[in-house]
Amino acid sequence: MSPHRQPRRPSPRPAARHAAAPAAPSGRRAAGAAVAALLLAGAAAGAAAPAAVSSSTGRAAALADVGGLDLGSASLLEVSAAMDSGRVTSARLVRAYLARIGALNSRGPSLNAVRGLNPDAAAQARALDRERRVSGPRGPLHGVPVLLKDNVDVAGLPTTAGSVALAGSVPDRDAFVTAQLEAAGAVVLGKTNLTEFANFTTAGMPSGYSSLGGQVLNPYDLADTPSGSSSGSGSATAAGLAAAAVGTETSGSILSPARATSLVGVKPTVGLVSRSGIVPISASQDTAGPMTRTVGDAAALLTAMTGVDEEDPATAASAPVAGTDYLAALDPGALDGARLGYVPPADPAAPSAADQVYLRALDVLRAEGAELVPVTVGGTGAPGILVDEFRRDLDAYLDRLPENAPVRSLEDVVAYNAAHPREALKFGQTLLEQSLAVDLSDPAQRARYEEARDRGLAETRAAVDTALGRLTDDPADDLGAVVSNSRTTGTGARAGYPSVGVPAGYTDLGRDPVSLVFLGSAWEEAQLLSLAAGYEAAADAWLPPAEVNPSAFRCTSVATTTAHRGSCPP
């Protein structure tokens, strides 16, 4: 069978979602020059952050409950439904999420997940509320507050990639994905912290650390890694600081933090979501994707994010699935009769704590009618290509910025860091320096790179498609997906193929989150999302961080219980 068969195409999205995004209010663009105004401390103060733990129980309840919603656990679709029913407005939601950011981001557990806020979010929310009253909602994202990873351009707001060298870098136009989300009615609440340059600054940098943003913490365990590089998007969404967030991945940077923070993470096929206006690592592997509470949330967000973009040639291949409504395409019975490959645990005789959760997840799939077939997913012997592509692709991104941008090239970034080692180089910049040494205009270097690129892509695609049975002529060999305990992430990323991770539960000791990852072939997002949604509904495994890790939330003004609050520190 062809490895590139097209999935069925559900009805297209409403035309309004493809309309040109409305121009950002002038205030946001005017705010761009004042980078300090974007820093969270000032923004949170402007949002009237709640008082400390001495706040009354009534105040805490008011923060936690908005129109019948507990924002610490509410899904994007629940937030959308509450607005549809008139129980809450977008403006009220923005105020409530800002209050949660004030209580949890730099206070309480100090998650440090949100780097900066959009000063126009409240005005945008009010405008969308007026539009809803006059003409109804554009779709499920209308008025929904979302956060974007701080390597995604929002016109007038700094895009820093966590680097002090880019602290004053303010784009004058939106990333394509930002424009798509705003056209769908989403309210961009602000930007999330990340591992610096999406974890491509140096070897050994902790996940979630950046020279500008500091260290992101994991709400499920403040001492555990939030993983990366979309660590802020994961931490913020898990803690209910927005209804959803956008992350980016080159190899694991959506799926891994989604696992660490018990979220649904979608790593789309490369080319389904445009990368224009996103600080890059590798044109061969980069993609943006949803990080959400539920599979339905991810389907709604992904629907709005996709589209063919002339600035990103890779999106031309997505034309056959452009307009897919992934939310409408969800099939609640997808598991019944499905044939799925599964990657066995590393040691079936003595499974790790995480693999014990994984084995229980496989039992759920079987109980829902899926046939499970053990498979092996290989990889590639080709050298990596990220160092080869980074300089070329970063310089191309920087070239689209305004003329007054503080840096114009990777060479400028490395030089700035070297001149400011105290602020910039706590962990060094080995990967930046290695990338700076690459010159793809040199015929020998280019030939070596292209051979590694093409071989790696061919071998990893063959590995996935072989495991899925897509390279034979016998339909009986065909598998709907390969599932694993996050063990197919690297191969899927190198192949440019889609994966969906969904919470599978928590280890018995430590309560560490575990994901079940569904891997497919190109453009099979609709099928993977349906399979993941079926598992999610049957397993009902997700728990909010305040339940898994109550001590982190007990002494905050958004706590939903008064148990042991008398023991809070001064």
CA distance 491 to 378: 7
Catalytic residue among 80, 106, 211, 229: 229
CA distance 92 to 97: 9
Phi then psi dihedrals of residue 2, to 5 deg = -65, 135
CA distance 265 to 84: 26
**Could you confirm whether 191 is annotated as catalytic?**
no
Residues 307, 275 contacting (CB under 8 angstroms):
no
Residues 247, 219 contacting (CB under 8 angstroms):
no
The HSE-up count of residue 245 (CA atoms within 13 Å, CB side) is 37
Burial readout 322-336 (b: 16 or more C-beta within 10 A, e: otherwise): bbbbbbebbbeebbe
CB atoms within 10 A of CB 303: 27
Tokens of 515: 């994901």
Amino acid in the structure at residue 84: D
Burial classification of residue 276, based on how many CB atoms lie within 10 Å of its CB (0-12 exposed, 13-18 middle, 19 or more buried): buried
**Could you confirm whether 73 is annotated as catalytic?**
no
Phi then psi dihedrals of residue 339, to 5 deg = -105, 120
Tokens of 501: 């991770």
By DSSP bridging, strand 244-249 and strand 145-149 are: parallel
Catalytic residue among 75, 80, 149, 267: 149
Phi then psi dihedrals of residue 15, to 5 deg = -60, -30
Ordered strands of the 371-374 beta sheet: 114-117, 187-192, 145-149, 244-249, 287-292, 264-267, 499-506, 513-519, 481-484, 339-342, 371-374
Catalytic residue among 231, 253, 262, 530: 253
**Could you confirm whether 229 is annotated as catalytic?**
yes
**Rama region for 428: left / alpha / beta (φ>0; ψ in -120 to 50; rest):** left
State the DSSP H helix or E strand holding residue 515, giving kind and residue range, or none if neither: strand 513-519
Catalytic residues: 149, 229, 253
